[in-house]
Amino acid sequence: MRKLLQFILLIVFLTGLTYLYTPPVAALEKTKDAIIVEVEGDPHEHEQYITKYHPEVQVVAVYDQLLTGLALQGEPKQLAKMTTLAFVKAVHPTTVYQIDTGTNGSPAPTVTELEDKLPDLVFPHVMNDTRYTGKGVKIGVIDTGIDYTHPDLEKNYAGGYDLVDLDDDPMETTIEEGKPTLHGSHVAGIIAANGDVQGVAPDASLYAYRALGPGGTGTSIQVIAAMEEALKDGMDIMNLSLGNAINGPDFPTSMAVNRAMELGVLVVIAAGNSGPDNWTVGAPATATKALSVGAAAHTSKLPYLVEPNTEKHIPIQPIQGSPVWDLKKDYPFTQSPQEATGHILLISDKQKNILKHVQQAEQSDVVAILIEKTIEDTERPPIDWTAISFQVPIANISTKQAKSLREVAQTKQIYLETKERTFNPGVASFSSRGPVVANWDLKPDLIAPGTNIVSTVPGGYQALQGTSMAAPHIAGATALLKEAHPDWSNEKIIAALKTTAKQMYNEENEWLDPIVQGTGLAQPKRAIEARTIVYNSSFAIGMPEGAFDDKKIQLKIENTTDDPIRYSFSIPHVQPGISWQLPLTFELQGNEMRTMTVDTRLKQTLLKDNIHQGWLTLNGSTETISLPYVLVHPEASYPKAMGFGISPNAYQPKTWSYQIYVTKDVEQVAVHLYNPDTLMYDRRLLLIDDPAVGMNEGELTADEVGESGFYTALITIQLTDGTWKTEPTPLLIENETYEKTDDESS
């Protein structure tokens, strides 16, 4: 019976049900002599206890606002003893934050060299079309640290803390300390560089809080602790260009972000780079009160290939950091490394050690390289392209296009010509989409430039893309608003940015969905000069309860001018099952604020079982304001589980910790492992009866975890109505302590 069920689940898996977008979780990288633990009770009393009874362990810091815990330093054996103390919560399985962008330690280019090498560059100062510079505003960058010796950053660098090494030196990881990083410096430069590159707010004060160590890796505990340090240092704004795959609103980092907002800090967070699918905004960008930012794409030219005989257009995706693909004539195509000289070479990403094959091809004087992309990035550990120094243009090509080239090349020599296509502004395809499970919130809140952004890195400059680059644009923009209106609350600043955002269109001249762009592209100057501010300009209507439901939304509108303004709502586009009762035409006197009710009446039987979204239009005397809304049908397809990962417990030998986030009431969750190539069943890894809604954590022995390898983990969820849902996710296991039994070996 069990084999039959496994077979059925595999067939369900192969039919392509909702995919779980979760990157593989690697082994946690912990420092050898420092830990941060969460504790029960008063952390200051526990500090006194450890100081008195365990003097060999140093209490480096005490956290008592966003996190209740201690930072401890000492020998590994001494630290292991600390985790057994009665008041210490186990160093529980924490989400690993991984910043993909790193460096191989090679010299970074100058701005001039970048401009000569790369097209369509975007400089952060372009967003600041105001007379303000962020002067007097303190911004904390929670990231990989900052190269505070960089000539464009040293003027504005004002301090910070290192939550990896637990000291006052939040420098980026250098090559002597491990895999070097550059992400935090790039983020900081977008906010407030002041040199050859100018940030959005070039006179703001920068503080660095290094929560991510070598290779850009850190944990949620370090991130929360870094936020608490920033809070104690009196930051006005925090920027978190990091995230995970958990779409729920109640993950610890999201709750910490909400708490920081309540305490008066404006927190700006990158939405994530897991687009273009829905439900991919990850914590802590799911935090209800924070400003979640997606990535806008500017007007750009992208290369594609043409096979002259057939005139077939072949799309390609240039790999970031490689030379520009701007070949001036056609070149012969080959898939044989022995014929690479003077050719465009096709390599499959199925090759083991693909970086070695690329390097060998470059040494043979290849013209350019095409990488056949057979495996999605979410289905395996990412290729570390920073490990090589690019010599020739390199781009990804789909399996379908590669197959077509091979078929033509079997009968004759073919040549490939490079051409360009212009893309209009919009939202970057990688930018994560909403909404958020459980509370059905509308995220991201807005978008900002996120492609080909030039900024500072250790030793020079680099052009990077991602929502990590979009968020600091907004952090800088909020600094401009704080300088322009020091009496405005954080709530008012966020509302002004969202109210005055510019809606983005697709190629058919239709507005992009709210869950893609939020209220639209931020416009700081318009926000500073806003005549009208709508405080809850994104309507998260929620999920209808019962056949008929009446959802009321409280709308707060402020006239910031000295003169009266008359307002009216346009009747929204009619959708079956949704009817609106909107306020009649009304007038606000100068500097008046009024709260009114928007009534949404829902008839569930007429609603399609998916996500419903659109825009309401508020017409003022001199402006039109677009207000996005989202509604989720109870039967809409959304992930029931996410964020699954396992990792070795650093302080308990032969013990592994697991975590999985459940988004609704379910009877059971099971995790089975399959070979990703053959899809043959291997073993059951985990079974949880009656899991809690939210994060579920526990431990496994090394033997229960089993043999190392790269697997497809099939997460099977039994719902309370007896139905089953399956969601596959990639999983990398590196279990050095596991030893096969005699029976397994035979």
Q: pLDDT at position 236, please? A: 98
Residue 26 has pLDDT above 50, yes or no: no
CB atoms within 10 A of CB 437: 22
Report how far residue 49's alpha carbon sits from residue 224's, in angstroms, rounded to the nearest whole number: 24
Q: Which of 432, 144, 499 is nearest to 271 (CA)?
A: 432
In order, the DSSP letters of 557-582 are EEE-SSS-EEEEEEPPPPBTTEEEE-
What are the tens digits of pLDDT across the range 278-314?
888 988 999 999 999 999 998 777 788 988 777 778 8
Average pLDDT, the chain: 84
With cut-offs at 50, 70 and 90, classify the pLDDT of residue 7.
Answer: very low
State the sign of the Cα–Cα–Cα–Cα dihedral 182, 184, 187, 190. Answer: negative
Contact (CB, 8 A) for 381 and 24: yes
Contacts for 289 with CB less than 8 Å, ≥ 6 apart: 257, 258, 261, 262, 267
Omega of the bond prior to 76 within 30 degrees of 0, cis?
no
What is the distance between the alpha carbons of residues 708 and 687, in angstroms, rounded to a whole number?
19
**Average pLDDT of 36-44?**
88
More confident residue, 155 or 693: 155
Beta strands at 344-348 and 138-143: parallel, antiparallel or unpaired: unpaired
pLDDT digit string (tens) for 715-738?
Answer: 988 888 788 888 777 788 888 776
Q: Is residue 21 scored above 60 in pLDDT?
A: no
| Whole-structure pTM value | 0.81
Residue at token pair 């704004």:
237
Q: Is the peptide bond before 444 cis (omega within 30 degrees of 0)?
A: yes
**Which of 226-235, 367-376, 501-510 has the largest mean confidence?**
226-235
For residue 70, count other CB atoms closer than 10 A to its CB: 26
Mean pLDDT in residue range 53-64: 87
- How far is the C-alpha of 450 from the C-alpha of 429, rounded, in Å? 11
In this structure, the chain runs to a length of: 746
- Kindly compute the dihedral angle of the four CA atoms of residues 87, 89, 91, 92, in this order, to the nearest 10 degrees: 180
Highest averaged pLDDT of the listed ranges 76-90, 225-239, 314-328: 225-239
- Residues 198-226 pLDDT 10s: 999 999 999 999 999 998 888 777 898 89
Give the containing element (helix H, strand E) for 495: helix 490-499
Does residue 508 have a pLDDT over 80? no
